[in-house]
Amino acid sequence: MITGYNTDVRHRGLVFHVQTEDKGLSNPCVESLVYVGGQILTRKKSDYAKLVKEGEGKDAIAALMERQHRQTISDIRSGQLDVQVAEQLGPIASGPPPAPAPASDAPAVSAEENRSLDQVILDYLSTEAEQEHLVLVMDSPDELHLGQEALLAFYAKSSLGGDAIEGAEIAIKLISTESEPTLLTSGSTSAEGKLHLKIRLPDLRRGTAALIVTATSSVGTAEIKHLI
């Protein structure tokens, strides 16, 4: 199972949280969830059972995850989810109505000029989506369970070209409803952008817990949240 991408996207005054993960060979699909204000706005699933049947490995699944994650971000920034936001969260969530224009002797702006401005905005957002950032992939061969040890493999790469990122600082913390956040371990990636870390999860008797993995590098930061 490859677990993987979490990105916050700002659009029209709202923060959209995009989470994309691999559901594992028992449910071979990649799922992207889009949250707004803690609510699931939409979800997208891509089945990869055919890839497994054809003998494709983790690289093909990771590539599928990245494509779907980037496409979901692009859909948000291009306004393709605006109607769903308005339907689920109300018109306020889609932004306040424009204020009436003050009286002026200047000629009115034509609809064609407005459309041109919209296109400029979309072009700008598309350019922003193409800026280089850190992509962090976490791979765990087994399910994570409290009270047990686990070996986690990480791969840090650039969003543009997929080049490995050397020296990315990765820290793993455990947060729970029953105790303060605890740093389990940390390390930095090799010249190949790889890092293996062994952790031992405490045996919590009550409550729920999650791993928070943070990575810092020369091209930015990334974060992975994994419920246990």
- Any idea what the CATH number is for the domain that residue 210 is in? 2.60.40.10
- Domain identity same for 139 and 78: no
Tell me if 110 is assigned to some domain: no
Q: Output the pTM of the full model.
A: 0.48
- Domain identity same for 16 and 78: yes
- Domain identity same for 73 and 151: no
What pLDDT does 116 receive? 53
- Domain identity same for 162 and 218: yes
Q: Is 186's pLDDT higher than 90?
A: yes
What CA–CA distance (Å, rounded) separates 181 from 173?
A: 6
Cβ proximity of 21 and 4 under 8 Å? yes
> How confident is the model over 58-83, as a mean pLDDT?
85
- Domain identity same for 219 and 150: yes
Closest of 126, 40, 38 to residue 81, by C-alpha: 40
What pLDDT does 185 receive? 94
Q: How confident is the model at residue 14 (pLDDT cuts 50, 70, 90)?
A: confident
In the block, residue with structure tokens 């401005």: 117
Choose the final residue of a domain: 22, 53, 86: 86
Choose the final residue of a domain: 20, 51, 86: 86
Tell me if 29 is assigned to some domain: yes
Q: Is 64's pLDDT higher than 50?
A: yes
> Which domain does 9 fall in, by range?
2-86
- Domain identity same for 74 and 143: no
| Largest separation between any pair of C-alpha atoms in the chain | 74
Number of domains in the chain: 2
- Region for residue 75 given its phi and psi (left: phi exceeds 0; alpha: psi -120 to 50; beta: otherwise): alpha
Neighbour-count burial of 53, counting CB atoms closer than 10 A to its CB (0-12 exposed, 13-18 middle, 19+ buried)? exposed
Tell me if 46 is assigned to some domain: yes
Q: How confident is the model at residue 124 (pLDDT cuts 50, 70, 90)?
A: low
Q: 3-class DSSP state for residue 227?
A: strand
Neighbour-count burial of 170, counting CB atoms closer than 10 A to its CB (0-12 exposed, 13-18 middle, 19+ buried)? buried
Q: 3-class DSSP state for residue 93?
A: helix
What CA–CA distance (Å, rounded) separates 72 from 126?
A: 13
Rounded percentage of the chain residues whose pLDDT exceeds 90? 18
Tell me if 200 is assigned to some domain: yes
Cβ proximity of 207 and 228 under 8 Å? no
Tell me if 199 is assigned to some domain: yes
Tell me if 186 is assigned to some domain: yes
Element (H, E) at 69: helix 58-77
| Residue 29: strand pairing partners | 47
Tell me if 92 is assigned to some domain: no
What CA–CA distance (Å, rounded) separates 4 from 87?
A: 29
Tell me if 99 is assigned to some domain: no
What CA–CA distance (Å, rounded) separates 138 from 213?
A: 9
- Domain identity same for 145 and 223: yes
Q: Is 80's pLDDT higher than 70?
A: yes
> How confident is the model over 98-107, as a mean pLDDT?
44
Q: How confident is the model at residue 12 (pLDDT cuts 50, 70, 90)?
A: confident
Strand residues in the chain grouped as ranges (E): 2-11, 14-22, 29-36, 39-47, 134-139, 149-158, 169-176, 182-188, 194-200, 209-217, 220-227
What's the token pair of residue 170?
A: 């990765």
- Domain identity same for 138 and 223: yes
- Domain identity same for 140 and 216: yes
